[in-house]
Amino acid sequence: MRATLPLLGALLLCAAAARACTTISVGAGATADRSVYIARTEDAPFSNFTQNLYAHPARDTPLLFRSNDNNMSITLPAPGLAYIAVPKSTSLTEFSPDPTFEEVGINSAGVALSSTETIFSSDAALAADPYNLDTGLLEDNIASILLPQMTSARQGVELLGQYIQTLGSAEGYGIQFADAEEAWYLESIAGHQWVAHRIPDDSFFVSANQGRLQEADLSDKENVLASPGLLEFAEEHGLFNSSEGTPFNTFVAFMRNSTSEPDDPLYNWPRVCAIQNELGSAGWTPESCAASRGLQPAFMPPAQPLQPADIFEALRNHYQGTPQDAYELRDPKNKWRPVAVLRTAMAHVTRMRSAEEGLPDGLSAINYIAMSMPALAPFVPIYKGLPADALPLEMMNATATADQTSLFWRARRLQASRHIRLLAAYAWCWDVLVMQNWPELAAEAQAAIRQWEADIEERQRPAMERRYTAAVEAGDQEGADAELAEWTAEVAASAGDLLDSLAEAAADKLGLNALPDAPETQSLLFNVTKEYLFGHADN
């Protein structure tokens, strides 16, 4: 065996998590089996920013929750629902008061949340209603506050809305909610203002670091919820003028929409257009996408009923097959920011399955999770019913320091394949080719990952579900839990073996005969990642 590749360290790509994430929500009628989906890439400030699975038990007493990123503290009511989430690894240490930055979770009531999509309100909106930076709601605390309390997607929206109105927001964000019936998307549009839309059953929704909700019929309470008096607030502060006869549009009234490049025209609009092309056959061209000026349709029917693999692939989009593909064309100066970026800490596709399937509760929801950039990492299914003591260790132990056991760092080894040569003078010189090897290495690795995922979805997972269901129907819940725990452990181990074998194959293909140690690797990859800034010095 070749020595394994110790990898990626502090790949600083932005000063704050301000330019991050891509979101996809899908209504039940737009999917092959009436599942509801919410999905997102968690694009972090650093590429050694790690998230880990964490199980919260149910509780019978109130809980004092304290945020790590600002001074918010709040007593959460009892009872508190159990849930499995994916918090930031640094919040799981003895130095952190509570697990935070939980990103995505499914609770015992069968309600899921993904938090957050970073978005930006206009200067005028924030002048009228500023953020509460000190004790307001932000990505660090929203999931931890809502997941123990939500009993439906709609109720989660209403609950967050109440918190925004009383506590205020500390930043701009979009939040996805889902249960077995429906998905909702909420945007904070000023300090104490918010709006939320139900995802139409026949449509999907995409957001990429901008406000995306547009025309809002605030009288349609079945499909639109908002802060009280939103229209009057907008009129009072000159954000909207009803006398002009145009429909009320929250994007136009409240949200930032820069037309200067590379900001929204190259950083945000193209990601929406690319996914609408991929899932909906929208037919956007670079020219028509630019001409849309950020006003692409908020909701769109898919070209065909969507399955998990379709959403996996959308989160792997890097403008493949176009002149904007910086990876395939080895063009680090390309300013078109793709969905797939190296600093993705975690990506998820959360599937809330229809009650019509008659599944046991433990199989009713699945969180497919890819640790790190999903373009070169597999999605591992984590079921709602997985026992808390059976979370796979490979998805619980990543830190900012490279290791050889976590799925995160084993994926990073593959993603950071590089060539090393020994100079005649016996001085080491590294030609770091992280993304520059994409044409030679990516296709083979991606094909293997897709094949692994297809085998899980088409063969292994259905067989396990039959065994689990048989145990439940026989009254043996303990046996069903053991079946699910054993299967999940095998799948996580298999994912690690896959990543190791692909890293080995990449190393062989590059002719590696030695490897740098972790500090040298971190320094090298810090430098190479800076090459792929997609037009921003702070992204």
Can 21 be counted among the known catalytic residues? yes
Residue found under tokens 């996805």: 176
> Would you state the structure tokens that stand for residue 282, as one six-digit string?
């929208």
**Rounded Cα–Cα distance for residues 253 and 29 (Å):** 31
What is the phi/psi pair of residue 94, to 5°? Answer: -65, -15
**Rounded Cα–Cα distance for residues 305 and 1 (Å):** 44
Query: DSSP per residue over 385-450, as a string?
Result: T--GGG--GGGT---SS--SSSHHHHHHHHHT--EEEE-TTS-EEEE--TTTTHHHHHHHHHHHHH
Q: Could you give the C-alpha distances from 366 to 32, 214, 259, 412, 522, in angstroms and in order?
A: 16, 30, 39, 24, 34
Contact 230, 195 (CB under 8 A): yes
**Rounded Cα–Cα distance for residues 218 and 226 (Å):** 7
One of 21, 273, 289, 429 is an active-site residue; which one?
A: 21
Contact 112, 105 (CB under 8 A): yes
> Would you state the structure tokens that stand for residue 171, as one six-digit string?
């930043």
Selection from 407, 390, 395 nearest residue 484 by Cα: 390
Contact 251, 211 (CB under 8 A): yes
Contact 117, 40 (CB under 8 A): yes
Contact 335, 319 (CB under 8 A): no
Query: DSSP per residue over 278-315, as a string?
Result: HHH-----HHHHHHHTT---SEE--SS-B-HHHHHHHT
**Rounded Cα–Cα distance for residues 281 and 284 (Å):** 8
Q: Which residues are catalytic?
A: 21
